[in-house]
Amino acid sequence: AVGPKKPLDVAAEVKERVAAGLGKELTDLMENWDQFAFAPIRESQVSRAMTRRYFKDLDEHAETDIIIIGAGSCGLSAAFTLGTLRPDLKITIIESGVAPGGGAWLGGQLFSAMVMRKPADAFLRAVGVPYEDEGDYVVVKHAALFTSTLLSRVLAMDNVKMFNATAVEDLITRPTEDGVRVAGVVTNWTLVSLNHDTQSCMDPNTLNASVVLSFTGHDGPFGAFSVKRLVSMKQLPELGGMRGLDMQRAEDAIVKNTREVVPGLIVGGMELSEVDGANRMGPTFGAMALSGVRAAQVAIEVFDQ
């Protein structure tokens, strides 16, 4: 038994309020720390509870309907839309970071709040994220509220599995008459991907899919991954390169141009700005949400073809 020896001396009125807020089971616990003990466990049960599920998921998702690369604001918005519209599809998210969410945990320069221009407020209502209405735009009081709410909705879906700390290292391709079709991804644990230079060869894992969506953000150590690979495979002549910041132009362009860039590969979010030479928008996130929505719509069209 751990904790204070005596039950907390809380006034009856406060007790009622706590019971209403936390529920009777938890408040009973809080009043009986003397009798407190966890249910028994053996260490191997913990290992098996995790690994059995992980390897079953890996096995089941080796053949998947849709792969989403990158769980930033755009990738998560696509996952939410796809998972909601098509519970029949198996959706696999691959995120290189330990923490999903990409750049959307803060609104810009560590200022917390997240701005979205209308009509992206429709997406916030669909997900259930509260916001303040400022007329032409809305403000979520903390970007982490957007990211965590969206993430919790996506991860609760039965047809979605996210493998985080896992990097996409390459694309699986099949020849077509005039190029290639993207048919899946090649992955490795990110810590392995980061150490290829120090080891001779560490072979990766592979996942086949009908449609791949890429939202790896603008160019950086991991960013713009798929489109850079398409250039090196000569499936895109060159990248346009992300241009300077222009909120007005950038957001419309990203949503309007969200598309299947080569057969089987749909690109959205800031990765697309590298393809098209579009402006960046800085700390306003409506285009990320709606590019994700549009990418999901395109993915369903491509999948159903």
Q: Which residue is nearest to ligand AHZ (CB)?
A: 72
Q: Residue length, the chain? A: 305
C-alpha dist (Å) from residue 119 to 122, 123, 140, 149, 286: 6, 8, 14, 19, 8
β pairing state of 205-214 and 166-176:
unpaired
Residue 204 within binding range of ligand AHZ, rule CB under 6 A: no
| Of the residues 66, 67, 69, 227, which one makes contact with ligand AHZ according to CB under 6 A | 69
Does the protein bind ligand AHZ through residue 74 (CB under 6 A)? yes
Nearer to ligand AHZ (CB atom), residue 66 or residue 168? 168
Q: Before 119, cis peptide (omega within 30)?
A: yes
Judged by CB under 6 A, the stretch of 35-43, 73-81, 143-151, 173-181 that binds ligand AHZ is 73-81
Query: In Å, how far are 110, 115, 139, 291 from 107, measured between CA atoms?
Result: 7, 7, 10, 18
Q: Given the complex with ligand AHZ, which of 223 and 264 has the nearer CB atom?
A: 223
Residues 106, 284: contact at Cβ < 8 Å? no
Please work out the total of residues on this chain that contact ligand AHZ, with binding judged by CB under 6 A. Answer: 30
Residue from 141, 142, 228, 280 in contact with ligand AHZ (CB under 6 A): 280
Query: What is the C-alpha separation between 104 and 121, in angstroms, rounded?
Result: 16
Tell me the torsion sign for CA atoms 114, 120, 121, 125. Answer: negative
Q: Any contact of residue 75 with ligand AHZ (CB under 6 A)?
A: yes
Q: Does 222 bind ligand AHZ (CB under 6 A)?
A: yes
Q: Does 289 bind ligand AHZ (CB under 6 A)?
A: no
Chain contacts with ligand AHZ (rule: CB under 6 A): 69-75, 94-97, 102-104, 167-168, 215-218, 222-223, 225, 269-270, 280-282, 285, 288
